[in-house]
Each structure stands twice: as structure tokens, then as C-alpha cells.
Structure 1
Amino acid sequence: MTEGAPYAALSPDVVLAAVDEAGSWSDGRLLTLNSYENRVFQVGLEDGGFVVAKFYRPGRWTDAAIMEEHAFALELAAAELPMVAPLAFDGQTMLRHAGYRYAVYPRRGGRAPSLESADELEWLGRLLARMHAVGARSRFQARGVLDRPTMIDAPMRATLGSALLPAHLFDAYRHAAGRVDDAVANRIEAVGPVQRIRLHGDCHPGNVLWTDAGPHFVDLDDARTGPAVQDLWMLAGDDAMMTALLEGYGQFRDFDPTELALIPVLRAMRQVHYAGWIAERWHDPAFPAAFPFAAEARWWEQHIADLHEIADDL
């Protein structure tokens, strides 16, 4: 593997050999699943069925952080929450093959949730409340915090240090992102302290799969410490949807309504982080193919305009 192409050596043969080495004998069937940060594959097994193999991006997380992700998933599953947790082989969930760290998961299908349904939103709210009750039991030590240094400072530096940002927009971007950072800091100070717990961290509809038996959650790759509302706002497109989520949430755990004032902050940080994430990963061949618009000056001009609008609204 190389820094410029971190998955260049991850051929289909390597993926299948890794699954075999773990102890789940593959039958040669391999399907690449949608993932940019990591590489994820559905692999057919000789004895029938499938597993999902997730290969972690080199250098992104420490071993300790990956193990915390796995431990949290297993803790949630042990609490009878519908979280897809990694399989253990000889007691190990984090595996290594050909220089890659990977994990093997059972395959769980499903459809996207119907977020227009108040019943489904309340169901999700109940599950998130139970997830947060488990998350509040202890703390992450290695996975970091959902905060300004992680979500604004680091991605802003990545963007400013990337050739992807047109040179003539350098100062304009720095000014716009700085305004967002200042506005976020002021809003956080105005809201005051809130409880921070272990979270799913990226609980958007694509990470919730619905079956006839109900929903289950996947992908704790962005699990961090932060306010409970982080796992709610991406599922709620309007006030009525948030009301339905909180109706279910309140049946199992108290929700601090003060956190609702953090939603614009979390949305703003995600916007800054998104551009920085693309800029930082541009050397990975998958990113120019998936996000070709980021190579155009007009996209950065619009992004800068959006940042100013966000700063004005905070």
C-alpha cells in the first residue's frame, strides 16, 4: 500500500484470502459495497450465506480506537440493541492480513427507514435512547471528541494545505471558515455545558437498515464522544420529525432540550468537515471519481458562500 493509493494492494484475492484466514471460508463471490473512507466487501461463504469484510483506512484510527469501536458495538449488542457487531475469531475482532487491519461482520440486509412515518421515528427514538443509556456508562479513551478541533480546525488545515482549493480562493476560504469557527464557538459558549456521551456519531439514514422485524444500526466508524442530539438531528428533517424522535426517546431516557440549540453548530461543523475530508483524501483515486465537482473552482466558490451564510445564521 502507498500513501497516494492506500488500497492499491487490496485486490480481490487479498480480500478473499483475509476472509479465509479469519476462518470463514469464502466461495469466491465478492461484491464491493459503497464506502469511501474504508473498503467494505460482501463475501460469499462455502457453507452458504455471506459475511461483510471491512478493511480500515491505513493511518486513520489507532489500534486502540478500532478496538473501542468494536467493544462499543459488542456492548450495545449485549444490551439487546440491534447493532451489527464484528465477529470474533479466537477471541479477536480486529484482524490483520497483508498489512491491512480488518474486521468481519455478519451480513444484515434491510431498506432505508421511512422517516416520514411518525411510528418509525418514535421506534428509532426509543432505540437511540437505549443506545445512549449504554453510551453513558463509560467513556471512550482513544476515539476523540466531536468538537471544534476535530470538526473545524483539522479539516480547515487540510483544505488550506491542499492544491484542490484554487489559489485565488485561499484567503476567501480562510476568512469564511474562520467566521464559521468564531460563530460556532460563540454558540457553544451561549448554550453552556451539556452532557457528552459515547455516540454512534454518524447516524444518518444510510446507517439504519429496516426489516420486517424493525431497524438495526450499522457502521460505528465515526463513533465519538459528544452530545446526544448528534445521533438525532441527521434523522430529523424538520421540527415534526424531531418531535416524533423525542417522543420515543423520552420513553427510555431523559433528553436535555438545551441540546437542540446545538443542531446549527453540529450542521455547521459537518459542512466544514466535509470539504476538508474530500481535500485530505483527494490522493485516494476513489475520491476524484466520486466527487469530481470538488476539482472545479465554482464548487469552492459556492462552498465559501455557504460558509458565510452559515456564519450569518448562527
Structure 2
Amino acid sequence: MTQSSQPHPFERLTPDFILDAIEAQGFLSDGRVLALNSYENRVYQIGIDEKVPIIAKFYRPGRWTDAQIQEEHDFCDELVAQDLSVVPPMRVQGQSLLHYQGFPIALYERRGGRAPDLDNPDHLYQLGRTLGRMHLVGAVKPFTHRPTLDMQSFGYQSIERLLSGFIPASLEPAYRSLTQDLMQRIEAAFALYPDIRYLRVHGDCHGGNLLWRDDLAHFVDFDDARMAPAIQDLWMLLSENERSQRELQLAEVLAGYEEFAEFDPRELHLIEPLRTLRMLHYSAWLARRWEDPAFPLNFPWFNTERYWGEHILQLREQLSALNEPVLRIL
């Protein structure tokens, strides 16, 4: 795919622009700007004069509406009100959603921590407890504006995007046939129990969005919060090691989870379908963002013949996984 000749909106985020945006919110910066690891949005640590630095998140223009972002913020505030360990956006004159020259912005207190050890049963148990409490809050009411994790947006639209010029011609027939088989299996899995409950979830519950500190898990980055089954926030805590290891990990997570929330065991049928949808969506996400200069720079292996060959191989392995028995609850 050719790169657009138009400058990307994020190219405006020079150090001077960033500092002006922060000082427009009433903060006096000491001039230090440190870019943090983020691609969908842009996130910076900003030095504040004689105070602790803050974190500034510049949302990708056009991805979310203001109403959708505000729902993310309000959900975080609901969780904090229940003494849950999440990092909510700061409020400036009562507002959590700020704006500067076309950029939605959120500011956060800086919090330290490390990724949890997902091979540690105590960590898994504590993560389960926190997610059980989080899902109690998430089940109180639905999102009104934020989307639902579904087969159309994560599956069919992802496939359509990649077939619009990314899949090499030599691999296109194999990709079409394989993704058709995958989506048939995914549709069958979701149709098996159509009454499974959807609730407000974190949506992207991997180790990078968890900070382990003081023997507690602190959840950050609710940018992908949406309506989904509870298992969406649980399955990413399980390793891709052998089945017996995943079942032991699942047992620890559910032991903590069910201290606060009831888990519907039928949702175990959705683990591999959700994993497959995430794989499809991830490749399509890279394709959708390819005109952002940060993506070719940081993902140089994407959109090569080798990448697509390996991607198709992974999807074939995933088709086999979709045909395996679901995990047992020990």
C-alpha cells in the first residue's frame, strides 16, 4: 500500500505543541516531555514545575466520539468509587475530557508498577478477584455509546479490510477460504448460547495494561472498553502453553473471580473464538493505521510476504484450536 502524501494529525504533536496543550489546561510544565509506548493514541509523561509529572493521553482524532470517550472516563470513575484499583483520568475544573486544537486529551496521575507474573498462582487469584469486582460494576448498566465486541466489526470487517489490497495475490485464495471456515466456526460458537450476558469490560486485559504494585493489580488504559462477555477480560490472562497449564491458570483466576461475581461456564466456549477474532482484528488494525508514520517505523515486518505467510499459518493452527474441547474448570 502506498503512503498518503497528507501529513498525519499526530505529526502536529511537537514538544512545543504538547507543552502548549498541557499549559492550556492550567498546568505549569518544566519543559520535560517523554514519549511513552503507545501507538493507537499518543501518550507522554509531562514534567510539572515543582510537582510530580503527569501523564497526558492525546486520543487519535476521529477514532472515538466525545460521548464514547466520556463513557470510558465515567466507567473508570464508577470503578474508583467502589475502591477498585484503576487509574482514572484527572478532572480539570470538573472535566475529565479535555480538548486542544482538535485533539481530545485526558490527563492521569503517574503510577508505577510492573507487569504481573501470570505464572504465579497468587497473582492470578488476585487478578480474578479484581475482575470479579470490576464486572459487578460493569453489569450494573450497559454502555450507551461505546461499541460491542462482535463478529461483524472484529471479524468480517477485518477480513474485508485486509482483502482490500494487503493480502498478496498469491495468498489471497488461501486466505479467503481459511477465513470463511474460521468465521463459520466462530458463528456456530456464538450461536450455541445466544443468551450469554454482555457487560461493560476492560476489553484489552493483557499484561501491558496491568501494573502490579503492593501485591495488587492496578488496571490502566480503558481505551478499548466495550460491551462483551465476561470471558473477554479473563482469557488473555491464560498462557498459550499446554492445555493442562491453562486449566490450572483458569482455576486460580476463577477462584478469585467467583468470590465476587458468578461466572457462566458456557462462556468457556468463546475463548478460542475470541482469540481468533483478536488475531484478525490485530492485523486489520495494523492495516488501518499504516498511514500513521509510527506504524511502518515500529512494525517494519508487517505487510511483507513472510508476515502474511506466517499469519495464514497461525490462522490454520487457530482453526484446529476451534475444534478442540473447551477448557475444563478444575
Structure 1 residue 264 displacement after superposition: 0.6
Note the C-alpha offset of 1:124.
0.9
Q: Is contact 1:76-1:131 (8 Å) kept?
A: yes
**1:72 aligned partner:** 75
1:22 equivalenced with 2:25 (yes/no) = yes
Instruction: List per-residue Cα deviations over 1:214-261 (Å, max 9, x = no partner).
Output: 221000000010110110111122111111010001111111111111
Of 241-250 and 167-176, the range deviating more from structure 2: 167-176
Moved more, 202-211 or 22-31: 22-31
Alignment partners' CA distance in 2, 1:51 and 1:178 = 46
For the residues of structure 1 that align with 2:28 and 2:166, how far apart are their CA atoms?
Answer: 43
TM-score (structure 1 length as normaliser) = 0.95
Correspondence for 1:178: 180
Cα offsets for 1:51-97 (capped at 9, x unmatched): 10001111111111101001101111111101100011111111111
Q: Kindly provide the amino acid, as one letter, of the partner of residue 231 in structure 1.
A: D
Letter in 2 for 1:215: A
What's the Cα RMSD here?
Answer: 1.4
Structure 1 equivalent of residue 157 of structure 2 = 154
- Number of the residue aligned with 2:114: 111
**1:86-117 alpha-carbon deviations (Å, 9 max, x no partner):** 01111111111122111101111101111122
Which residue of the other structure, out of 211, 214, 218, is the alignment partner of 1:212?
214
1:126 to 107, 124, 129: 129
For residue 263 of structure 1, the aligned residue among 266, 271, 274 is 271
Deviates more, 1:186-195 or 1:26-35: 186-195
* d(CA) in 2 for partners of 1:171, 1:13: 49
SS in 1 for 2:259: coil
User: Distance in 2 between the 1:261 and 1:52 partners?
Assistant: 38
The residue that corresponds to 1:221 in the other structure is 223
Aligned residues: 312
Alpha-carbon contact 1:191-1:262 (below 8 Å) kept: no
TM-score relative to the length of structure 2: 0.91
**Where does structure 1 differ by over 4 angstroms across 4 or more consecutive aligned residues?**
none
**For structure 1, which runs of at least 5 residues remain unmatched after alignment?**
none
Shift of 1:213: 5.1
Equivalences for residues 46-61 of structure 1 within 5 A: 46-61=49-64
Alignment of 1:290 with 2:292, yes or no, is no
- 1:212 CA displacement: 2.1
Q: Secondary structure at the match of 1:75?
A: helix
Q: For 1:129-173, what per-residue CA distance to the aligned partner results, in whole angstroms no more than 9, with x for missing partners?
A: 000000000110111101101211221122112x43323323332
Aligned equivalent of 2:11, options 8, 13, 35: 8
Q: Secondary structure at the match of 2:188?
A: helix
In 1, the alpha carbon distance for the partners of 2:56 and 2:72 equals 15
Q: Distance in 1 between matches of 2:110 and 2:215?
A: 15
1:294 aligned counterpart, secondary structure: coil
Percent of aligned pairs sharing the same letter: 46
Separation in structure 1 between the aligned mates of residue 159 and residue 42 of structure 2, nearest angstrom: 25
